[in-house]
Amino acid sequence: MKWNREDKGIPEMDRKPIRLLFDSNGGDLDAQAAICSAIELSKTPVIGVAVGLVASAASLIYLSCHVRLAFKSSYFILHKGSAALSGDYENIISSIEDYKKEINKMIEFIIEKSKYTKEEVEEHINKDWYVRAQEALEKGMVDEIVTDINVLL
């Protein structure tokens, strides 16, 4: 938000992009959703750079970036995540129903942000799904494999 406030009035094409370096085991689905929303709302371009492992929630945040770069050694892990539930029967069922909706939104998001088909995502997402940089490039998760440090400067 800070950079968008500072860049207000500057044409989007003329703004200095925000660069986010990704090397993460993932995180919380709710925090991921908030970060994705902030990136998608940003008028200042956000460039994601996968430098190592980009797993779980981090992979979804990365997919939100306006431009997506990756080191050739980077890779992604996509999956349905995990959850810990407690409470009475009705509240657990309610939580499960909500979690199913969130997983379906996540599947649609991956399809929207890549060239994977619904069938491909549904086939692989039930377990840890490893996607190496070259496949990610071919499937549209990555826009460019970094081969020149000047791309990052």
- pLDDT digits 0-9 by tens, 109-121: 999 999 999 999 9
Q: Would you kindly state where each structural domain of the chain is located, as residue ranges?
A: 2-151
Q: Are residues 108 and 97 in contact, defined by beta-carbon separation less than 8 angstroms? A: no
Q: Is 74 a catalytic residue?
A: no
2-151 topology per CATH? 2-enoyl-CoA Hydratase; Chain A, domain 1 (3.90.226)
Q: Tell me the pTM.
A: 0.94
Burial of residue 15 (CB within 10 Å: 0-12, 13-18, 19+) is middle
In degrees, rounded to 5, the angle at the alpha carbon of residue 125 between the alpha carbons of residues 119 and 131 is 95
Task: Tell me the mean pLDDT in the region 96-105.
Answer: 95
Percentage of residues in the chain having pLDDT higher than 70 = 100
Rounded to 5 degrees, φ, ψ at 131 are -125, 110
Lookup: tokens for 151 = 């791309």
Burial of residue 52 (CB within 10 Å: 0-12, 13-18, 19+) is middle
Residue 1 — pLDDT band, cuts 50, 70, 90? confident
Residues 6+ apart with CB under 8 A from 70: 49, 50, 51, 133, 136, 137, 142, 144, 145, 146
Mean pLDDT, the chain, as a whole number?
Answer: 96
- Looking at 24, 42, 56, 74, which residue is catalytic? 56
Task: Tell me the mean pLDDT in the region 12-31.
Answer: 94
Residue 127 — pLDDT band, cuts 50, 70, 90? very high
Q: Give pLDDT tens digits for 40-82.
A: 999 999 999 999 999 999 999 999 999 999 999 999 999 999 8
Residues 6+ apart with CB under 8 A from 86: 92
| Number of neighbours of residue 10 by Cβ within 10 angstroms | 13
Residue 83 — pLDDT band, cuts 50, 70, 90? confident
Task: Tell me the mean pLDDT in the region 81-97.
Answer: 93
- Looking at 24, 59, 74, 79, which residue is catalytic? 79
Does the structure show a pLDDT above 90 at 2? Answer: no
Full 3-state SS string of 31-68: HHHHHHHHHHHCCCCEEEEEEEEEECHHHHHHHHCCEE
Q: Is 94 a catalytic residue?
A: no
